[in-house]
Structure 1
Amino acid sequence: MNFSSVLSRIERNNPLDFGNIFSKSIDLFKKTWGQGVLLVVATIILMIPAMIILYIPIIGAAVVGSNNPEMQAGNVSPWTMLPFFLLLIPVMLVMQTGMLGLMAGYYKMVHKRDMDMETPTGDMFVFLKGVYLKKLFTLSFFSIGIALLATLLCYFPVIYVSVPLAFVSVVFAFNPELSPKEIIKLCFKLGNKKWLISFGLIFISGFLAQLVGMLLCGIGIFFTASFAYLPVYQVYKETVGFEDEDEIGQIGISEV
């Protein structure tokens, strides 16, 4: 779909029912929990080298401090942490780019399972290719920039932008041909139209995913974490829909 087509579907502002979407998310989770586990594992694998890179300057500062009497006495110069802060933004951008690509691949797999289609494991990494990486990096830059700006404007703007930013990966997953600016515009349009119900669904599903995961001896979070992402998919599905569903509908109409 092009930008105008997606925008017009959002502008229609189809009414959504909280209970209906939540119920559908539970049903979909039963079909996609395996893909959710794969997402969690892939995310952890992505985070490990990033955390190692960030801890290198911290460990270095600790080693220098152990050999410096003044630093041991508490006279620590803020310059010793400069390498950490210089690495923080680039590492965050790389991590966000990888996580956004994984999330987009996850949503493609979720859609296939929703349509009762086969989902090869490689689909999770379909967007982590050269043709998409530049766009993913730009989207990550925009997302981090918006989040940081919202943080500087006190706490409430962070809550507000959390909903539109939650739609970035799902909008990109089903409209990868759009430019990063168009994707961000659509996310904020969709987030504004469906802010309250989306925030409620994200909050409740995230809380339940964490609670049930902890009740299952903590390790259960690997299996329940992905439930928090499914309401976003359902809101997008009910509001925008998908091209393949339109094609199926047109086939049914032509046959009649």
Structure 2
Amino acid sequence: MKQNVESKINELLVTGYKTSFNSVFGKASDIFKGIAGYAILAFVVYFIASMIISSVIGLLFPVAAMDYNEVMDTIQGGDNEALRDLLTQYSQNTSYIYSIVNNLITAALYPILYSIFTMAYKFDNYKNVEISDIFIHYRDGKFLNIFLASLIISIISMIGIILCIIPGFIIYAVTLLVVPLIIFADADIKQALNYGVKLGFKDLGSFILLLLSIIGVLIVGLLLCCVGLIAAVPFVYVLIYSFYKEIVGFPDNHTEIDEIGTDIYKDNPYMNS
């Protein structure tokens, strides 16, 4: 993890920090206007890929083959409860396999959505955003950490929601900055989870408010005939980027991402005057 970012976070954990949501939303709106096309394209690519892969998984793991003799014997026995339990068992066996494989594939596709963080950073620092940025985290050496972090967060959050909705909700909230720490601060999984969660609990109210804002944005997108989700989902990631910048920021303002793309002021002759 970058030393200056780690030092900044440790300082924040001691002194605390304040978050201005007016600033976060304002900055997110300005950035989204500049990268909307690319961000929406990233979401569409992710959505289509996930739908295709989910369909393939469904074909590979169809409903478990039933022992029809056993089923017929159960039917003839007239025990409706036993029949229901038998059918449930077949369904669950397939469901568990499908869920595991589907979660693994979904986590592997998340870097496409997380590329929106990189797009936001580049635009925010006067860099050209490119279509190839959609797949940047498959080639920048951070895929494994992003994949594992996404998987861990999904599993823990799911368990929290199953046990009780509130713990799951809190887990989602305090882990919002985990992936940005991997992308922008070069944190490994342990560091990202450790510092991300600590920052979350340092000002839990702000993180919960952000999560509620995210849910609100998605609900609005859903109400707009679901079409609004095409813009709402990418905007959520820009919002998280803006939140990360508001809290952690970029102490050195120079990362690997700075080397990607081109300075629009340098390349545009109309801006050289």
1:31/1:210 Cα in 2 relative to 1: closer, same or farther (>3 Å)?
farther
Shift in Å, 1:9? 4.8
Aligned to 2:41: 38
TM-score (norm 2): 0.75
Q: Distance in 1 between matches of 2:22 and 2:140?
A: 40
Shift in Å, 1:209? 4.4
Shift in Å, 1:21? 1.8
Equivalent residues in 2 for 1:156-175, closer than 5 Å: 156-175=166-185
Aligned to 2:112: 102
Structure 2: give runs of 5+ residues left out of the alignment.
Answer: 256-273
The 3-state SS of whatever aligns with 1:97 is helix
Which amino acid in 2 is paired with 1:97?
Answer: A
Shift in Å, 1:50? 3.4
Q: Distance in 1 between matches of 2:195 and 2:29?
A: 26
Which amino acid in 1 is paired with 2:12?
Answer: I
Q: Is the 8 A contact 1:151 1:158 kept in 2?
A: yes
Equivalent residues in 2 for 1:217-236, closer than 5 Å: 217-236=225-244
Deviations 1:19-41 (A, max 9, x none): 22222222222222223212211
> Is residue 194 of structure 1 aligned with residue 203 of structure 2?
yes
Shift in Å, 1:54? 4.1
Equivalent residues in 2 for 1:81-230, closer than 5 Å: 81=91, 82-99=93-110, 101-129=111-139, 131-176=141-186, 178-212=187-221, 214-215=223-224, 217-230=225-238
Judge which range, 40-49 or 200-209, deviates more: 200-209
Q: Distance in 1 between matches of 2:55 and 2:74?
A: 24
Q: Is the 8 A contact 1:104 1:172 kept in 2?
A: no
Q: Is the 8 A contact 1:37 1:222 kept in 2?
A: yes
Q: Is the 8 A contact 1:202 1:229 kept in 2?
A: no
Shift in Å, 1:140? 2.9
Q: Is the 8 A contact 1:31 1:113 kept in 2?
A: yes
1:208/1:86 Cα in 2 relative to 1: closer, same or farther (>3 Å)?
closer
Q: Distance in 1 between matches of 2:59 and 2:116?
A: 31
Q: Is the 8 A contact 1:202 1:228 kept in 2?
A: no
Shift in Å, 1:93? 2.1
The 3-state SS of whatever aligns with 1:218 is coil
Q: Is the 8 A contact 2:115 2:134 kept in 1?
A: yes
Q: Distance in 1 between matches of 2:44 and 2:238?
A: 18
Shift in Å, 1:211? 1.5
Q: Distance in 2 between matches of 1:42 and 1:28?
A: 20
TM-score (norm 1): 0.79
Shift in Å, 1:218? 3.2
Deviations 1:139-170 (A, max 9, x none): 13321332134235422111111112222222
Q: Is the 8 A contact 2:61 2:98 kept in 1?
A: no
Shift in Å, 1:182? 0.7
Which amino acid in 2 is paired with 1:85?
Answer: Y
